[in-house]
Amino acid sequence: MSYYKIQNFEQYFKHYNKSVREPRKFWGKIAEENFTWYQLWDKVVEFDMAEADIKWFTEAKVNIAKNCIDRHLNKRGDKTAIIFEPNDPTEEALHISYNELHQRVCKMANVLREKGITKGDRVCIYLPMIPELAVSILACARIGAIHSVVFAGFSASAVASRIIDSECKMVITSDGSFRGNKSIELKSIVDEALEKCPSVESVLVVNRTNIPVNMQEGRDIWLQPLLDEASDNSVAEIMDSEDPLFILYTSGSTGKPKGMVHTTAGYMVHTAYTFKNVFNYEDNDIFWCTADIGWITGHSYILYGPLLNGATTVIFEGVPSYPNYSRFWEIIEKHKITQFYTAPTAIRALAKESLEYVQKYQLSTLKVIGSVGEPINEEAWHWFNDHVGGKRCPIVDTWWQTETGGIMIAPISFVTPTKPTYATLPLPGIQPVLMDEKRNEIEGNQVVGSLCIKFPWPGIARTIWGDHERYKQTYFSTFPGKYFTGDGALRDEVGYYRITGRVDDVVIVSGHNLGTAPIEDAINEHPAVAESAIVGFPHDIKGNALYGFVILKESGEYRDRENLTKEINQHISDHIGPIAKLDKIQFVSGLPKTRSGKIMRRILRKIAEGDYSNFGDTSTLLNPEIVDEIKNERI
Ligand code: PRX
């Protein structure tokens, strides 16, 4: 019996129980039957949760890029691996077959090697959603270099801090990027970032927008001529299961971003298995995930998961609103998309536009539609179900995180009955628990608590780059022996999970995971600012938006407040990126603090939400009078 694909609900429970009772047998069989290994493992899993030390498929040898491409060449060489849909709908889409992808990745692998990149080196990839992004990632994986993709919306200083943290030797970027009717000068952002990055020896530049760029001699080089010269023969590096595959930065509730490290074999098995099951991928399907490859969703479900299954996957360069709000629906019709995976923010933004935008297009090829990144509200769920899925397509509301590598809690399409706003049941191998404030596991159903996972799964990030202690502290210390997700959840009467949102200082804005601390740090660097506190508040389209409470250095009026608001947002944009801008800024004379000096964010959150009903216990506040002042001047 194979465990790779779950056929029905009864079988789900069988597989689930097997995965809990005999996780080694369960994952061992999946791994052995569905991938190509140079050498099999000694042990399926070894772990010490107290030390946050987790290893899967120990001592096995494998190359994930070969599993994504070479393995399919005999059977599916001519099949389209990647459909590239450009930003501008009048520019022709590209269909890249598995054979062509193989050739392109091998050439790129040779270019990287010629530029001195070897196994274990870090390569920062700062590219728009173009085929070269996929090719660069897969080429790194082929030669064992560790890719660190930085979303091409981040600012120069955010790029620099990520390059510095992981000491990247090379940057792969482009002259610019097209996003809707805008173009962004990526190369000049890289130039600015590199002023602070001594580890970078070379920069490969893709020509995408044809804008003039500065090329620093001895460091910067156009990629295409190198590819034209390169051989398309390249031997893949034999990797150990636990060799790092990539680093991807995610916001923390404190301090600098965390470079989550994902390793090779476990990530491969987890993303492939979850892709196959959650989306019910079948051979001629055309899968489209609208995320950017700069986030984990794109890593796992635009590239690795689909390619590991020999799928056809779409890379879309543009935005949902350009040239008009029909763009997504037009692409679904054009490429006959069968699975469509997007974020609640996009759904809400498109749902507020005229229905004609969606009704004009033929969406009947769709079989499964999915949502990820934040809780999907009831209204958005129904709109998605009625107008996109035609009430015919199961909606897979998939809960997971950068740290989990792949999907954790989600319906298996055509297997698990769905329920609006519920991520439903854990996938086989995933053992969620809800914890109470006293750190006890909450048994039974119809309960609410902090969501933890009590047994390792193959895709879990193994560490934070350069800071294992922080990894241990962040994820394994709040509830000893368990992985703490940072999310709250409820379990309904039948055991279905609904994720209620973050219980820490991370706010999900438009599906982007933003730590409030780094934004506060950025604001506090503004010369006029003494201190600040940021909280999230509900927003119709973005899910959450950011509300900043700012204390200025001089008491009373400080310059023009309107201008200052703009300046502060510009400051955030420069330090982090436009996604972290604040929707509201209120200048205050103080912040509610406990006697130990901690800002009582709970109160600020309530004020930002406009809910003054119950501030809870304020007896530990040092300055209770400030609460009324802030409340009365709320924007
Ligand atoms: O709060 C949860 C929310 O997004 C967080 C993870 O963000 P990130 O690491 O950027 O990864 C996003 C894409 C996997 C989680 O801690 N989240 C993610 N998916 C859902 C969700 N909240 C509710 N429902 C979901 N389906």
Query: Cα(137) to centroid of ligand 1, in Å?
Result: 23
Query: Cα(399) to centroid of ligand 1, in Å?
Result: 6
Ligand 1 touching residue 285 (CB < 6 A): no
Query: Cα(343) to centroid of ligand 1, in Å?
Result: 10
Name the CATH superfamily, with its identifier, for domain 510-633.
ANL, C-terminal domain (3.30.300.30)
Query: Cα(291) to centroid of ligand 1, in Å?
Result: 13
Question: Of ligand 1's atoms, which has the minimum distance to the CA of residue 407?
Answer: 14
Ligand 1: which of 404, 425, 499 to mutate, judged by most atoms within 8 Å of the beta carbon? 499
Question: Of ligand 1's atoms, which has the minimum distance to the CA of residue 486?
Answer: 16
Query: Cα(373) to centroid of ligand 1, in Å?
Result: 4
Mean pLDDT of 492-505: 91
Ligand 1 touching residue 401 (CB < 6 A): yes
Ligand 1 touching residue 296 (CB < 6 A): yes
ipTM surpasses 0.95: yes
* pTM for this predicted structure: 0.91
Ligand 1 touching residue 398 (CB < 6 A): yes
**Number of other CB atoms surrounding residue 123 within 10 Å:** 27
pLDDT at 85: 98
Q: How confident is the model at residue 255 (pLDDT cuts 50, 70, 90)?
A: low
Mean pLDDT of 123-128: 98
The tens digit of pLDDT for each residue in 28-73 reads 999 999 999 999 999 999 999 999 999 999 999 999 999 999 999 9
Mean pLDDT of 406-431: 98
Ligand 1 touching residue 474 (CB < 6 A): no
Ligand 1 touching residue 499 (CB < 6 A): yes
Residue nearest to atom 2 of ligand 1 (CA): 374
Residue nearest to atom 14 of ligand 1 (CA): 401
Q: How confident is the model at residue 134 (pLDDT cuts 50, 70, 90)?
A: very high
The tens digit of pLDDT for each residue in 432-481 reads 999 998 899 999 999 999 999 999 999 999 999 999 999 999 999 999 99
In three-state form (DSSP H/G/I as H, E/B as E, the rest C), the secondary structure along 45-83 is EEEEHHHCEEEECCCCEECHHHHHCHHHHHHHCCCEEEE
pLDDT at 600: 85
Q: Is the N-terminal amide bond of 323 cis, ω within 30° of 0?
A: yes
**Number of other CB atoms surrounding residue 595 within 10 Å:** 9
pLDDT at 531: 87
Question: Of ligand 1's atoms, which has the minimum distance to the CA of residue 400?
Answer: 14
Question: Of ligand 1's atoms, which has the minimum distance to the CA of residue 371?
Answer: 26
Residue nearest to atom 25 of ligand 1 (CA): 399
Distance, in Å, from the CA atom of 322 to the CA atom of 57, rounded to the nearest integer, reads 45
Distance, in Å, from the CA atom of 135 to the CA atom of 560, rounded to the nearest integer, reads 49
Q: How confident is the model at residue 292 (pLDDT cuts 50, 70, 90)?
A: very high
Q: What order do you get walking across the sheet with 286-289 strand by strand?
A: 94-97, 80-85, 312-316, 286-289, 339-342, 368-372, 395-398
Query: Is the CB of residue 162 less than 8 Å from the CB of residue 174?
Result: no
At residue 548, does pLDDT exceed 60?
Answer: yes
Distance, in Å, from the CA atom of 483 to the CA atom of 487, rounded to the nearest integer, reads 11
Query: Is the CB of residue 490 less than 8 Å from the CB of residue 447?
Result: yes
Mean pLDDT of 471-493: 96
At residue 555, does pLDDT exceed 60?
Answer: no
Distance, in Å, from the CA atom of 244 to the CA atom of 293, rounded to the nearest integer, reads 18
Ligand 1 touching residue 424 (CB < 6 A): no
At residue 556, does pLDDT exceed 60?
Answer: no
Q: How confident is the model at residue 504 (pLDDT cuts 50, 70, 90)?
A: confident
At residue 113, does pLDDT exceed 60?
Answer: yes
SS3 586: strand
Ligand 1: which of 376, 395, 513, 516 to mutate, judged by most atoms within 8 Å of the beta carbon? 513
Residue nearest to atom 11 of ligand 1 (CA): 401
pLDDT at 518: 83
Nearest CA-CA partner of 147 in 125, 116, 165, 128: 125
Ligand 1 touching residue 250 (CB < 6 A): yes
Residue nearest to atom 22 of ligand 1 (CA): 374
Q: Among positive and negative, which fits the CA dihedral 457, 475, 607, 587?
A: negative
Ligand 1 touching residue 280 (CB < 6 A): no
Mean pLDDT of 540-559: 82
pLDDT at 525: 84
Domain locations in the chain?
510-633
The tens digit of pLDDT for each residue in 564-609 reads 899 999 999 988 889 899 999 999 989 998 766 778 888 999 999 9
Residue nearest to atom 6 of ligand 1 (CA): 401
Q: Work out the percent of the chain whose per-residue pLDDT is above 70.
A: 98
Mean pLDDT computed over every residue of the chain: 95
Query: Is the CB of residue 404 less than 8 Å from the CB of residue 300?
Result: no
Ligand 1 touching residue 544 (CB < 6 A): no
Ligand 1: which of 374, 514, 542 to mutate, judged by most atoms within 8 Å of the beta carbon? 374
Residue pointed to by tokens 């999915």: 370
Ligand 1 touching residue 423 (CB < 6 A): yes
Q: How confident is the model at residue 254 (pLDDT cuts 50, 70, 90)?
A: low
Query: Cα(181) to centroid of ligand 1, in Å?
Result: 29
More confident residue, 437 or 545: 545
Q: What share of the chain is helix, strand, coil (3-state, %, to 5)?
A: 35, 25, 40
The tens digit of pLDDT for each residue in 335-387 reads 999 999 999 999 999 999 999 999 999 999 999 999 999 989 899 999 999 99
Ligand 1: which of 399, 505, 514 to mutate, judged by most atoms within 8 Å of the beta carbon? 399
Of 1-5, 388-392, 492-496, the least confident: 1-5
Mean pLDDT of 311-335: 98
Query: Cα(478) to centroid of ligand 1, in Å?
Result: 19
Distance, in Å, from the CA atom of 103 to the CA atom of 82, rounded to the nearest integer, reads 13
Ligand 1: which of 271, 401, 402, 544 to mutate, judged by most atoms within 8 Å of the beta carbon? 401
Nearest CA-CA partner of 410 in 319, 305, 515, 312: 305
pLDDT at 284: 95
The tens digit of pLDDT for each residue in 155-191 reads 999 999 999 999 999 999 999 999 999 999 999 999 9
pLDDT at 501: 83
Ligand 1 touching residue 400 (CB < 6 A): yes
More confident residue, 201 or 255: 201
